Structure 1
């Protein structure tokens, strides 16, 4: 192969094809389902079917919300050990593409914005999880691998923790420590500035053995060698949680999503 042919081959390998795109003209159950689970000691309750206005599709965007109710209500969310969430005055939306749209490697992108640049207790996220994860909803026989072992690995594309930051988000992989429920949240994740109440594209792509994180198409971070540790099909999650007991200002927080897509290299 001469230099010209080699250069052409490299150029072709950089081309992406879209194999999944949801622009949220409607809520499509072929792409998404509600995910009701109690994790991370979150103080809100995930509710189904957009109850209380927690999940809404209008004007071409998805809105996931945390909403403060007038009084505490019972919550049927269970943690992975079967413990029920206590009564709470907060409800929220969480959707996943589990058993709907799952892909091996490639590139995931979402365009989203927040209703503010950060408030205490906010915990919105856009992330990936291995398709054999054994947490609700469990719908197939092979969904029996505990987080964060291979098959149930986690990659966080966008996460905002309002108690620790403003005008910033966190991105990066969770490193499995080889046992159920044991993951390293620190070594491969980093914080980056962004004006959260403006539209941005947040993405992760597999580039060789690396995971490359981009903000509006520009590389901001790279997990060198971590991509090979996620060989499994992965599904996408979008959620808005309330993570601490800090009082909520106003009656609602909103994460608005313009689109989600997955691409693969030709």
Structure 2
């Protein structure tokens, strides 16, 4: 299968590292002009430099903005060219006991994980519909279906993304625009590495070893029995953004290694 996104422009939010960076690479490798986003100019510049070295003939643009902030999101929207592909990847996660999670933390998760995608989709979907082609992808999580007891606030935000993506797919039905959610499971991302940093130092084990142990302890239903790589998640996203995926819309597509234990 030859995925060719030449002539398409993609905005990948929170793409300076982790899954977002891998998605930006994959879309660019397939020919898209990719707009890289991060919270700071420094992080965006570093990501652009890394991508340019890996793909010297590719086209990238950098636009910094903290998408948990409505005003910064609007500034980003005003600076955007025509966007054909929107990947709503911006998100925060972390373990916290429900009874210690205050309103401010709930609001931080809601604004970052949910409202960033609400605002960008509201701004960019009408143009896609008018042109008769577009792709919107929400990076949700298996935690949106398999709510973790130690990250209830995170799970709720990821379930909201599933509702949002399904509803938007129905709202633009028949337009040539697709809206989908991709659900990673445990992934060897920058965020996971940061979460395990102390454990790596304490045990001397590799991130991969600790990742496998984490999966077997906390997600024992995993079929692959290891975390995914960011590239494995990005591969699904690139396909969903392609012309070949034109019959896939309103779907929740799992890249969770089989953690969610059902057959649909």
Give the TM-score normalised by the residue count of structure 2.
Answer: 0.30
Compare relative contact order (CA 8 Å, sep 6+) and give the higher one, 1 or 2: 1
More strand by share: 1
Q: TM-score, normalised by structure 1?
A: 0.30
Bigger helix fraction: 2
Larger Rg: 1
